[in-house]
Structure formats: structure tokens, C-alpha cells
Amino acid sequence: MALKDMWIPTDFRSVFPKGVLLLGDIEAQTEFSEDRNALKRQAVDLDREGNGSGKRMWKATIMDRAGGKANQASFDVTFVVDQVPVPSEPEVMEGLRPIELEGLLLKPRVVGNGQFKSIGFYIRATGIKGDTSGAKRPAADPGAARPSGKAA
């Protein structure tokens, strides 16, 4: 089926009308290894065939402020970006920060087991609005430090 690996782009406010809170910190997402003694490696956005962006992956837990039941209020989100996103908003409580996800992508999946199955979503984002990590800044202009090529 061609749609099995399709990520659906969507607007942040359509999915989370009251916004979300970041619970704790954003951490590197590590690859699975059957060898317990192997060094942990950060996951990159590539599938087995080599398709994907090749960017590093980070994971975080967010809480939907409009969420109802406890099991429907928190989600894991994966950030696909080279540098860890840093929220600009201050904590509202210890370990809780309001954030707005940029480049939001959803992929439906079946959650639960037996007769209690429902539809859930994998959630990806390309960053956080107001990110203070410097990842979104354009590269510094090297022209000032580079000789112009003219003889002095």
C-alpha cells in the first residue's frame, strides 16, 4: 500500500486549539540495538532503503491542553532537525513549558489491543516556534573574514 509511509502535514492550531505543554526536556532519540553493550547511537530520519531527510531525531512528551481523559492528554513527539530545539517560553511550573510546534506532521496508527483498539497518531515536527538554539539562523557571512582575492 502506497500510503503506509505517508506523513500528513497539518496546521498546529487545527490539531491543538489550546496549545501544548512540553513535559520535561527534549532528548536524543536512540536507535534500537540487540547488543546491550553497544554504544547508544542517535537515530536519523532514514528508512531501510535510505529514504528520508537524514536529519537527527529528538523525542519529547507533550500534553494537549484541550485533552480530555488522562490517557488522551499526553503524546510523544519526534523532532526531525539537526540541532535540538530549545523552547523560548519560560516554565509555567517546574518541568512544564508552553510550546508551538512547527512543521507538524501526523501519521495514523492503530493503538490498543484486543477489542479495545482505536486510532492514534505518530507526531513529528521540524521545530518549535521561537526556538533559541540558533538552528534556524542562516549561516554567518564568511565574506568578511575571507580575502577578497585582490592583491594588497
| Cα–Cα dist 60/74, whole Å | 10
In three-state secondary structure terms, 93 is: strand
Can you name the residues that pair with 135 across neighbouring β-strands? none
Can you name the residues that pair with 63 across neighbouring β-strands? 21, 74
Please give the pLDDT value at position 67. 77
End-to-end CA distance of the chain: 64
135 has a pLDDT exceeding 70? no
pLDDT digits (tens, 9 = 90+) for 18-50: 999 999 999 999 988 788 888 888 888 887 777
Give me the residue label for grid cell 519560560: 90
User: Rounded to two decimals, what is the model's pTM?
Assistant: 0.80
pLDDT digits (tens, 9 = 90+) for 87-103: 989 999 999 999 999 99
- 53: confidence class by pLDDT, cuts 50, 70, 90: confident
